[in-house]
Structure 1
Amino acid sequence: MKRFRPLSLLLVFVCFASAAYSQANAPLKLSQTIPLPGVEGRIDHMSVDVKGQRLFVAALGNNTVEVVDLAQGKRSRSITGLKEPQGIVYIPTLDQVVVANGADGTVRTFDARSFTTISSLDLGDDADNVRYDSTVGRLVVGYGDGALGIIDLKTHKVISSIKLSGHPESFQLEKSRPRIYVNVPSANHIAVVDTAKQAVITTWPVGQFRANFPMALDEAHHRLFAGTRNPARLVVVDTEAGNQITALITSADTDDVFFDQENRRVYVSAGEGYSHIFRQLDADRYQPISKVVTAAGARTSLFVPELRKVFVAVPHRGRQESAIRVYDVP
C-alpha cells in the first residue's frame, strides 16, 4: 500500500490545484456582501449611478428604495413612503431616480441628491418595469392589464399608451430601430412593438415554455433571451425571424437576465438560489459554464458592464439576512 502513497498525494495536489485554478478563473467572484438591515420582504429590481458609485434597490416588500454607497460598501439612506416599488431607473443626465410602484400605480421621480419628490404621476394599476429611452428622452413603463406607458421626462406626463394582450413583464428596447420586445406571460408570447407606429406589429409564441418573465437582448447578433419559469429555461429567440433557436436549462424562479457583450456571456439569476452563466459560442450555440450558489429568493440582479460587476439582491429569510452580494466579473 505504501508504494501508492506518492501517487495519492499527487492526485490530491492535482485536485487542489484544479479547484484553485477554477475558482481563480470563475466567471463570477463574490467580492463583497453589503447588509441591508431591517429590509423585509421581496426585493425587486435595481439601477445604478456609475459615476456616483450608488446602487438603487427597489425593496418591494419593505415599501422603500434602498440607496447603497458602493464606494463605502454600505447603505447610505432609504426612500420611504412608497407602495410596492418594482421598476427603477437612474437617469444620469438629470441625476434623477424614477420608481414605478405596483400597489398604487404611481411613477415617482426623485432628485438623486436631495431625494425630494420632483413628480408623482398616476399611471395605472401595477406599474412595473421601467426603461429609459435616451435617444428621445422618454420613459417606458409597463403597467395594468396590458400596456406600455410612454412618459415625457420634461413634462412628466403620459404622451401615449401602447396596448398589449396582458400585463407586461420585462422588456427591451432596440437602439438601431424603433422596436420594443415585451414579455407577456399571461398571453404566452413575446410582443414586438413598433414605437414609430405606437402599436404591436407581431407576437412570437413561447409555446411550451411558459411564464416568460425576465429578458435580455443581444442586438448585434439579433438574439433575444427570455427566461421562463415553467419549465425553467433560457429561451433564445431570433429577432429577425421570431423563431426559437434553443432552450437552456436554468434554476427555478428566474427574474433577471443580462447579456455581457464583451465576454459574450448570459447571466441568469434565479430565486431557487443560483445564478447561471452561459457562454455564447456563436449566435446559435450556447454553453453552460457555471452555476453559482447565491441565496434563497435571490432572483433579482443587475449586471453593470462599466463596473464589471453583478449585484444580486438577497432577501431576509430565517437566518439569512437581507443584503446585496457583489460579484466581480473577471
Structure 2
Amino acid sequence: MNEPQGVIYISEFNKIFVANGGDGTCKMLEGDTLRLITSLHLSSDADNIRYDPTAKHLFVGYGEGGIAVVDARNGKRLGDIPLEGHPESFQLEKSGPRIFVNVPKASHIAVIDRVKRAVVATWPLQSARSNFPMALDETHQRLFIGCRQPATVVVCDTRSGRAVVSLTISGDTDDLFYDETHKRIYVSCGEGYIDIFGQLDPDHYRAVAKVPTAAGARTSLFAPTLDRFYLAVPRRGNQAGEIRVYAVQ
C-alpha cells in the first residue's frame, strides 16, 4: 500500500477496498487472505470511500476533483463524477439518491445524484471555509460540516442547504461523527481535544465536554454498535504513537 487513506470491508463479498493517496490507486483484496485481486488507478490522491449496499457500488474520492463509481462485486470502474476540487469527507443518504460532498477548494458542499452520477446542486459556505469532515443526521435532515477557518461545525438543513447554526470547536478538525442513539456530535481536533455537543433538537445544540487528547490527534472512528470512540495519536517528540479507545456513556 502507498499512503492508505480510506479502507472499507464489504462482508457480503468478503472484499477489502483500500484507497491510496500516494499513488492514487484503489486496491481490492480478498478479505481472509489479503490477496490482491485488482488495482484501479484513479489519477492521484485516492481518499475517502463510501458504500451503497443497495446498488452494490463503491464511491471513491480522488484527485483534483472526482468521485469514481466502482462495482463492489468485481472491482470494475463504472464511471466518474467530476467536482470543482478534491473531495474530502462525503456522506450517502439512505432514504434517497443523494451524496453530500465537502469540496474545500470551492468552499461549498456538492450535492450529487448517485443514480444520475451528476452534481445537481452546490451549497456555498457563507461563514466558514476549509470544510473537511462531515456527518449526517438523516432522521432530522441535518448535515454537520466541520470547518477549520474559523474552527466551527456548521449545521445545515439537507432540504435546502441553509445553514441553521454554527458551533465553535477546537482547531484543526479532521473527523466528525453523529451519535444517533445518544443524540451527540463528536469532533476530533488536532489542537488536542475531542469536542462533544448534545443535540437538544435539530436546530439547537449545547457543548457537553471538551476531552483533552494530544497534539495532532485528529483522525478518529466512532463505532456506534460498540459505543466506542477510537482516536489515532501520532508520534511527536516524546509523545508515543498509539490508538486510544474511549467508552461512550
TM bin, normalised by shorter chain, reads: over 0.9
Q: Secondary structure at the match of 1:201?
A: strand
- The C-alpha deviation readout for 1:272-325, integer Å capped at 9, x for no partner, is 110011000000001010000111111011000111100001111111111110
Aligned to 2:94: 175
Q: Could you tell me how far apart the structure 2 residues matched to 1:96 and 1:182 are?
A: 25
Q: CA deviation at 1:96?
A: 2.5
2:228 is the counterpart of 1:325:
no
Aligned to 1:87: 6
2:178 is the counterpart of 1:259:
yes
CA RMSD of the aligned region, Å?
0.9
What is the count of residue pairs matched by the alignment?
249
2:191 is the counterpart of 1:272:
yes
Q: Secondary structure at the match of 2:105?
A: helix
Q: Could you tell me how far apart the structure 2 residues matched to 1:111 and 1:297 are?
A: 33
2:214 to 295, 319, 327: 295
More strand, by proportion: 2
2:29 is the counterpart of 1:107:
no
Q: Which has the larger radius of gyration?
A: 1
Aligned to 2:134: 215
> What is the TM-score when the length of structure 2 is the normalising length?
0.98
Aligned to 2:59: 140
Q: Could you tell me how far apart the structure 2 residues matched to 1:167 and 1:255 are?
A: 15
Q: Secondary structure at the match of 1:221?
A: coil
Q: Secondary structure at the match of 1:89?
A: strand
Q: Secondary structure at the match of 1:321?
A: coil
Q: Secondary structure at the match of 1:186?
A: helix
Spell out structure 1 runs of 4+ moving beyond 3 A. Answer: none
Q: Could you tell me how far apart the structure 2 residues matched to 1:92 and 1:273 are?
A: 34
- The C-alpha deviation readout for 1:248-284, integer Å capped at 9, x for no partner, is 0111111110000000000000111100110000000
Q: Is there any run of 5+ residues in structure 2 with no aligned partner, and where?
A: none
Q: CA deviation at 1:113?
A: 2.0
Q: Is there any run of 5+ residues in structure 1 with no aligned partner, and where?
A: 1-81
Aligned to 1:158: 77
Give aligned-pair identity as a percent.
54
Aligned to 2:153: 234
Q: Could you tell me how far apart the structure 1 residues matched to 2:10 and 2:247 are?
A: 24
- The C-alpha deviation readout for 1:174-223, integer Å capped at 9, x for no partner, is 00000000000000000000112211111111123010000000000000
Q: CA deviation at 1:124?
A: 1.8
Please tell me whether the aligned partners of residues 197 and 208 of structure 2 are also in contact (alpha carbons under 8 angstroms): yes
Task: Identify which of structures 1 and 2 has the higher relative contact order when contacts are C-alpha pairs closer than 8 Å and 6+ apart.
Answer: 1
Please tell me whether the aligned partners of residues 50 and 58 of structure 2 are also in contact (alpha carbons under 8 angstroms): yes
Q: Secondary structure at the match of 1:287?
A: strand
Q: Secondary structure at the match of 2:101?
A: strand
Q: Could you tell me how far apart the structure 2 residues matched to 1:165 and 1:273 are?
A: 31
More helix, by proportion: 1
2:57 is the counterpart of 1:127:
no
State the AA in 2 paired with 1:180: I
1:198 to 106, 117, 128: 117
